[in-house]
A and B are shown apart, each in its own frame.
Chain A
Amino acid sequence: NAGVTQTPKFQVLKTGQSMTLQCAQDMNHEYMSWYRQDPGMGLRLIHYSVGAGITDQGEVPNGYNVSRSTTEDFPLRLLSAAPSQTSVYFCASSRTSADTQYFGPGTRLTVL
């Protein structure tokens, strides 16, 4: 099993550009989530999904969209990138929202 995979590993964007961060898991987990990690801020929940076709907002959802068309994939879209979105983004998955979450390796995003 590959576990949770994320692409790309690094990305540089200009302000106003859009992009999609990819996340996939091969553990047949129902629950998937996106976090952002900023220095001294810990991990903050952006969006989450409890199953295919179901998504909801976390603590810091503004500027981000998600969709969950399959159990395996949970992409995160930045609609119009801003410097405040410079961060490291982690995708995680778990069997259910009450179970241990497994994290991907992260995507380091810089917005100029």
Chain B
Amino acid sequence: QQQVKQSPQSLIVQKGGISIINCAYENTAFDYFPWYQQFPGKGPALLIAIRPDVSEKKEGRFTISFNKSAKQFSLHIMDSQPGDSATYFCAALQPGAGSYQLTFGKGTKLSVIP
């Protein structure tokens, strides 16, 4: 059972446009929702994260929107740049027996074309 569903699989956006990636979850025990950015040949790196008591978080051109009732959250990249071309993963953290576990979506490959 896929606990975090991410869409779309791939996305092509023109430079200056808005990139939007969506994620949905089912487990209400998730209590922290990070987004990771991965460039080719590199490991994922934390981009931005949100807790469910907040509906929106903005850091520069990157914004997370969170809808707790719908169990959905999304990443918006404003004024998208070619340097934003990467694979983006949403994730969700849940407490478990003795530790938290991070569950990832399947990823979205973003290409920003000049």
- Which one of A12-20, A36-44, A64-72, A74-82 contacts B? A36-44
- Chain A hits for B95, CB < 8 A: 98
- Known: A43-B44, A105-B43. Is A98-B105 also a contact (CB below 8 A)? no
- Chain A hits for B101, CB < 8 A: 45, 48, 58, 97
Q: Does A103 touch B at the CB level, under 8 Å?
A: yes
The chain B residue with its CB closest to the CB of A6 is: B43
- Known: A40-B106, A90-B44, A103-B43. Is A50-B99 also a contact (CB below 8 A)? yes
Q: Does A101 touch B at the CB level, under 8 Å?
A: yes
- By the criterion CB–CB under 8 Å, are B43 and A98 in contact? no
Q: How large is the interface on A (under 10, 10 to 19, 20 to 34, 35 or more residues)?
A: 20 to 34
Choose one: B9, B102, B107; the contact of A101 (CB below 8 Å). B102
Give the distance to chain A from B56, nearest Cβ to Cβ, in Å.
Answer: 20
- By the criterion CB–CB under 8 Å, are A41 and B106 in contact? yes
**Complex Cα–Cα for A101 and B103 (A):** 12
A-B contact count (CB 8 A): 53
- By the criterion CB–CB under 8 Å, are B9 and A40 in contact? yes
- By the criterion CB–CB under 8 Å, are A106 and B99 in contact? no
- By the criterion CB–CB under 8 Å, are B46 and A43 in contact? no
- By the criterion CB–CB under 8 Å, are A97 and B104 in contact? no
- By the criterion CB–CB under 8 Å, are A98 and B93 in contact? yes
Residue positions of A touching B, CB distance < 8 A: 4, 31, 40-45, 48, 50, 56, 58, 90, 92, 96-98, 100-106
If A40-B9, A43-B89 are given as contacts, then 4 extra A-B residue pairs at C-beta distance below 8 Å, sorted by A number, are: A41-B106, A97-B101, A100-B46, A105-B42
